[in-house]
Structure 1
Amino acid sequence: MASNRQPQTEAGNAPEPDDETRKSTTVARQRLPEFRLVMLGWRWPGKSLTGNTIIGREEFRLERAAEFCVKRQAEVEGRQVTVVDTPGWFSAQDTPLSYKQEIVRGASLCPPGPHAFLLVIPVGMFTEVDRARIEEHVSLFGERVWRHTIVVFSWAEVLRTISIERYIRREGKELQWVVEKCKRRYFVINNSIFEEHPQVERLLESVEKLVAEEGSFYNPEEVEKENKPLDDVQNTTRDVRELGARPKQGSGLGLSNGVAVEAISSE
């Protein structure tokens, strides 16, 4: 007579994990010996400041708009971390071709390729123009870049008691489109908390999870084959208006000093 007993583990008590549990365990155990990160975003969204938060010291200058990529390295949580800060794109005018070429070059500065792109979006008003600008510049790296991108919400201290999920819903389909393109991988960072803080460790854990799910890293050489030369790509005409790099006026969101914002990521 066939036995209906489920397979036992070495402990002899619990059944073997199912496929979903096994996958979760694999993701949880993935540990990278190093991290290679590329920062993306328009000017003044807290992009360079986020890089400083990750590195743990002021390495990326904030007083002027950078025209070139800046690469910095540091040991974080016992592992080597490379962060490449790319030029921020313009909020209310077309981005010069030279800036676009320099943004794309950022992926080649951390060979053999970045583990993740961190798309920094400030908490505040998000418009259709914002979405279009993000799509225009992130897509310079090819369609596959979205699989290696994590949205990092900066200026998170203005949220106070509002959850990031509520904020995403409130901002509507434009912001939701960006989050969905990144497979709902997002992280909330508080750049007013510097040096040692568990939020950086949790961000690196999110990168490890991404690598475990997508496999390996973004390969710049593969994407060069599928992309058109940048000088063949023309900027589209758009309305010249201010983008959402500040909290909504009259939104009821106020600054909250000393509030540690937890890193939140949808599963």
Structure 2
Amino acid sequence: MRQMMVVMSTMEQWSSLKSLQQQSSGDKHLKFTFSSLGPNQICDLTVDGRSVSLLYADLNQDMTEEGISQALDGCFKSCTDGVSTFLLLIQGGHYTKRERRMLETLQAHFGAEALKYLVVISLEGGKVADTLDDALLELLNMCNGRYCRITSSAARDELGALLKVLDRMLAENGMTGYTEAMLIEARKRSTEDSAMQILKRKVQEVKEQERAFKQQMQQQEERRAKEMEELKARHAEERKKEAAEKKQCETKKESLEEAVMSHGAMLQLQMSASDDDDTEAVSVILLGLSGSGKSSALNLILERAGNQYSINESSQEPPQPTLFCERKEAFAAGRRLILVDTPELWDEDGLEHLDLLKDCLALSLPGPHVFLLVLQLGRFTQGECEMLGHLQRIFGRDFAEHAVVLFVRFDCDQRRPQGINDYVAGAHATLQDLIRKCGSRFYELNVTKSQNALSYPQVKDLFLGINKLVASHGGRSYVTRRFSVQELQGRKKGIGERKEGALEGNYLLRDA
């Protein structure tokens, strides 16, 4: 059946979509055909032989909620011979009050079920938001990250990505799309909710009458009690004044003593504590072979922790190979997060690099709390088969109890990539054994350009998994008996001094 999308947007955004027709007129693989059907406008879009019809009703700014509902309902009823879904157009990543009003009307008329069949498109031809605001991020989370950006310079590829997102949405939620039966059920629930509200209102009125009567009786009792309290208060005030001067002197004395003690405790704390207090932080060490995607995953986690979506993501250079341990920090899932990136901690003969091991443990203080084993999805080599054995020899036999497996997915040509659960179920026996020893804790992270928006809920799930693992150990960090805390603290201080010296040297060279 034909795929048809009910479009929610202002006339300005619909006109921006129309302008793509002129800008892409020379591309034979991309075709726009605009027509009218009664009060509605239709755009038949064809990308590389794939077609979808967009139905739009003019939603002007002065429309009431009832008018918006009738316009959307008219578009939906025009989709009788196709698979119906919904499309929200925004401009440059800006989610305004007008679009929020349209979404609220959609949910009120079509029910929460409509969000399962919703895709958000940002038309980016002018001013573009640096980051997505909280309201839009919450919407993307509810519609499972279905967010596409369309620019005139890459319209064909980005519209092709939209069709892939549409296929995945239908595969996950039902190939029939949003149906008339769903609309009938939504209206039925709305009617039932209205009847329940009327009943609740009547019950509330009865309660208010009863409350008013009780309040009247209580006021009479309070008046009598107040007269007694005023008499007692006059006597108490006299006694209070007598004790006030004595208490004032005692209070001044106690305040001075407390200030002296507080100042002494603060000096002692400053002498004993490190420069940066990490006691409430959760520390994570990223481990894996070269090329597994540790640095790519780390960069994406830092972006998502800051609610950032890169605007020029396609022009970013791939991360360089990691040569030394590096510490990054972010605030995620309500707590401070320390992330330590590492190169390989052992050589081809399985011998550990002792200095790198000490560095990663020192930089992870007061942890480590969690070890993140990074594997590239679809690649499991002999080196990765032996990885768990190397890590247990380096960190200790209890290493796997604090480990989480993270699969990194890079760009692929599959229209419907294999799900992570299916991949693990059919994986090599050694990989399945590794995951089992790590408590069957595994997550997936897309670092692809075309699937970028899907990484937002994935990073959120990863944070929840990390916090859950830390909580299961009572918030305690992993203890490595090979090195003392004092030795690691000294090494961490030395790393900081070397970095400061390198920065100062670079500064002097620039001035020379």
CA distance in 2, matches of 1:149, 1:123: 18
Residue 164 (structure 1) shift: 1.7
CA distance in 2, matches of 1:169, 1:104: 36
Count the aligned residue pairs.
190
**Larger RCO: 1 or 2 (CA < 8 Å, sep 6+):** 1
Alignment counterpart, residue 204 of structure 1, candidates 454, 463, 473 = 463
Comparing 163-172 and 35-44, the one that deviates more: 163-172
Q: 8 Å contact 1:147–1:214 — kept in the other structure?
A: no
Alignment counterpart, residue 135 of structure 1, candidates 382, 389, 411 = 389
Structure 2 length normalisation: TM-score? 0.33
Q: 8 Å contact 1:122–1:154 — kept in the other structure?
A: yes
Q: 8 Å contact 1:104–1:140 — kept in the other structure?
A: no
CA distance in 2, matches of 1:108, 1:90: 18
Partner of 1:183: 439
Alignment counterpart, residue 400 of structure 2, candidates 146, 150, 161 = 146
Question: Per the alignment, in what secondary structure is the counterpart of residue 67 of structure 1?
Answer: coil
Residue 197 (structure 1) shift: 2.0
Q: 8 Å contact 1:117–1:149 — kept in the other structure?
A: yes
CA distance in 2, matches of 1:108, 1:214: 21
CA distance in 2, matches of 1:37, 1:64: 21
Partner of 1:44: 291
Comparing 142-151 and 126-135, the one that deviates more: 126-135
Q: 8 Å contact 1:34–1:80 — kept in the other structure?
A: yes
Residue 75 (structure 1) shift: 2.5
Q: 8 Å contact 2:294–2:374 — kept in the other structure?
A: yes
CA distance in 1, matches of 2:290, 2:384: 12
CA distance in 1, matches of 2:325, 2:453: 23
**Structural RMSD (CA):** 3.2
Q: 8 Å contact 2:329–2:336 — kept in the other structure?
A: yes
Gaps of 5+ in 1: 1-31, 226-267
Q: 8 Å contact 2:286–2:372 — kept in the other structure?
A: yes
Residue 90 (structure 1) shift: 7.4
Query: Does the C-alpha gap of structure 1 residues 171 and 221 become closer, same or farther in structure 2, counting only changes over 3 Å?
Result: closer
Question: Per the alignment, in what secondary structure is the counterpart of residue 119 of structure 1?
Answer: strand
Query: Does the C-alpha gap of structure 1 residues 62 and 69 become closer, same or farther in structure 2, counting only changes over 3 Å?
Result: farther
Give aligned-pair identity as a percent. Answer: 27
CA distance in 2, matches of 1:196, 1:168: 19
Partner of 2:472: 213
Larger radius of gyration: 2
Gaps of 5+ in 2: 1-278, 311-316, 485-512
Query: Does the C-alpha gap of structure 1 residues 196 and 62 become closer, same or farther in structure 2, counting only changes over 3 Å?
Result: closer
Query: Does the C-alpha gap of structure 1 residues 224 and 203 become closer, same or farther in structure 2, counting only changes over 3 Å?
Result: same
CA distance in 2, matches of 1:35, 1:220: 14
Comparing 182-191 and 152-161, the one that deviates more: 152-161
Question: Per the alignment, in what secondary structure is the counterpart of residue 222 of structure 1?
Answer: coil
Structure 1 length normalisation: TM-score? 0.61
Residue 63 (structure 1) shift: 4.4
Q: 8 Å contact 1:41–1:121 — kept in the other structure?
A: yes
Partner of 1:87: 343
Counterpart mapping for 1:149-168 below 5 A: 149-155=403-409, 158=412, 160-168=416-424
CA distance in 2, matches of 1:73, 1:194: 22
CA distance in 2, matches of 1:97, 1:161: 37
Moved over 4 A (4+): 156-159
CA distance in 1, matches of 2:473, 2:409: 28
CA distance in 2, matches of 1:49, 1:106: 18
Question: Per the alignment, in what secondary structure is the counterpart of residue 481 of structure 2?
Answer: helix
Alignment counterpart, residue 427 of structure 2, candidates 171, 183, 193 = 171
Deviations 1:109-161 (A, max 9, x none): 12221221110001113244421134213541111121111000001665844
CA distance in 2, matches of 1:51, 1:147: 22
Q: 8 Å contact 2:333–2:464 — kept in the other structure?
A: no
Q: 8 Å contact 1:73–1:82 — kept in the other structure?
A: yes
Q: 8 Å contact 1:74–1:81 — kept in the other structure?
A: yes
Which one has the bigger helix percentage?
A: 2
CA distance in 2, matches of 1:46, 1:177: 22
Question: Per the alignment, in what secondary structure is the counterpart of residue 470 of structure 2?
Answer: helix
Question: Per the alignment, in what secondary structure is the counterpart of residue 372 of structure 2?
Answer: strand
Query: Does the C-alpha gap of structure 1 residues 78 and 129 become closer, same or farther in structure 2, counting only changes over 3 Å?
Result: closer
CA distance in 2, matches of 1:74, 1:194: 20
Query: Does the C-alpha gap of structure 1 residues 223 and 191 become closer, same or farther in structure 2, counting only changes over 3 Å?
Result: farther
Query: Does the C-alpha gap of structure 1 residues 161 and 111 become closer, same or farther in structure 2, counting only changes over 3 Å?
Result: same
Residue 64 (structure 1) shift: 3.3
Alignment counterpart, residue 123 of structure 1, candidates 377, 380, 384 = 377
- Say whether residues 1:55 and 2:302 are aligned partners: yes
Residue 81 (structure 1) shift: 1.7
